[in-house]
Amino acid sequence: MTENKPVRVRFAPSPSGDLHVGNIRTALYDWAFARRTGGTFVLRIEDTDKSRVTDEYVSSALGTLRWLGLDWDEGPEAGGDYGPYQQSQRLDVYADWAARFLAAGDAYHCYCTPEELAQRREAARAAGGPSGYDGHCRNLTPAQVAAYQAAGRRPVLRLRMPDGTTTFTDLVRGEVSFDHAFVPDFVLQRADGSPLYTLAVAVDDVLMKITHVVRGEDLLSSTPRQLAVYRAMGVKEADFPVFAHLPYVLGQDGQRLSKRNGVVSVNWYRNEGFLPEAICNYLALLGWSPGENRESFTLAEMAAEFDLARVNKNAAQFDVRKLEAINGDKIRALDPAGFAARITPFLQDAGLVASPATAPEAGLVAAAAPLIQQRISRLTEAVSMLGFLLAGDEDFAVDADDAAKVLTAESGRVLKAAEAALAGADPWERGVIEAGLKHALLDELDLKPRVAFAPVRVAVTGRRISPPLYQSIELLGRDRTLRRLEHAIGLAARAS
């Protein structure tokens, strides 16, 4: 095995779209294992299928990993001694190994058409036998080969699976065995010479000296094929990588997480205001725990404690509500300046702040951010919470439903009293604002706080739910506050 070798672990996505949460959990465990052992984290892009994997998706994958803090030691843009690290740039390597397997007799050309394969599979099923490839072309005579070639058939290349069983010890699942009767000869190379996953992944793992293969459980069944390629390459069993197959991630319906039963794209969560540290924290818990019922930790803390032997082999269920709760905790743990910096891009996307922010805008965001930091669970909520403060008079609007509920005819006298109290507030600061409003509304009008302040809140912020009222009014300023109260008085009058 590989116990005495420096750890080299790889994350090898085939990005045909945005990376999804299952991909990222695998990358996270790969990264943490490398960091815990002082090993090397290799990023390899499996992009031989150019009809599905585009440069745009590859670039997006790299950006997502960087955003999450999962830095790689070797790979695209980082370099390394075993590159190139994109499979589309290694086609000559795979072609060379395919030719070696063919020359050594470990592989053979198969001329069967898809229609013939389908017919024979159906016949095997009907007879109750294995329905995989039946070895039809394993021992073709020269005459049979000539006949196929004369008919214009272009062959694929298949590896010969020996009789017997493949048994290996998986770090997560324990001892696993596969009867080769159910692992038929498999295709290494298409008729056009392009490699399949089974060829490229094994060749790359050997040439890149990968010691541990940490990947999803859905690839468990491909392991005997991968080991067969290792043997054909002349790798001794003692030098095989160690495998660790991670449990499935399920949706709320108990089915494997997919677009059908939940949002799987990590970029969607990023755009919805989830922090990278929250995503990593939560995904780490889908199969692993630092123990002692701890649910909150940093990437560095995870890297210091991660152990593949403690990965649970049972499937984990993805719960957005749990992720949101962790996200809220991480938001509250940010320092004020860091929080302001995190919400600014969302305010810019909403057109509330320029890009880059002007000095007055940046100052206002910095002053307002502490008012909402304890109240939100997603960064996107900053837009609705602070929109009243950053919008100009021409863009400010009172929520229609909140106005209907609160800015009634009876609220007119409340708003007028608030306007009079605030017009004389001096200096314009929270303490004076609070004292003036409480005296005018609670003492003079003898109102309950809920009745007194709800109309003022809706008038000033446009919503019944907002940051703390007195601080909001202070930041909004005297002139804008009085204009909004005047506008709300008009709305209340029309409600009568």
Q: Which of 5, 50, 259, 313 is catalytic?
A: 259
- For 186, other C-beta atoms within 10 Å of its C-beta total 21
Whether 313 is catalytic: no
Q: 289, 310 in Cβ contact below 8 A?
A: yes
Q: What's the CA gap between 299 and 29, in Å, rounded?
A: 11
Three-state SS annotation for the chain = CCCCCCCEEEECCCCCCCCEHHHHHHHHHHHHHHHHHCCEEEECECCCCCCCCCHHHHHHHHHHHHHHCCCCCEECCCECCCCCCEHHHCHHHHHHHHHHHHHHCCEEEECCCHHHHHHHHHHHHHCCCCCCCCCCCCCCCHHHHHHHHHCCCCCEEEECCCCCEEEEEECCCEEEEEEHHHCCCEEEECCCCCECHHHHHHHHHHHCCCCEEEEEHHHHHHHHHHHHHHHHCCCCHHHCCEEEEECCEECCCCCECCCCCCCCEHHHHHHCCCCHHHHHHHHHCCCCCCCCCCCCCCHHHHHHHCCHHHCCCCCEECCHHHHHHHHHHHHHHCCHHHHHHHHHHHHHHCCCCCCCCCHHHHHHHHHHHHHHCCCCCCCCHHHHHHHHHHCCCCCCCCCHHHHHHHCCHHHHHHHHHHHHHHHCCCCCCHHHHHHHHHHHHHHHCCCCHHHHHHHHHHHHHCCCCCCCHHHHHHHHCHHHHHHHHHHHHHHHHHHC
Q: What's the CA gap between 264 and 256, in Å, rounded?
A: 11
Question: Cα(first)–Cα(last) distance of the chain, in Å?
Answer: 83
Residues noted as catalytic:
259
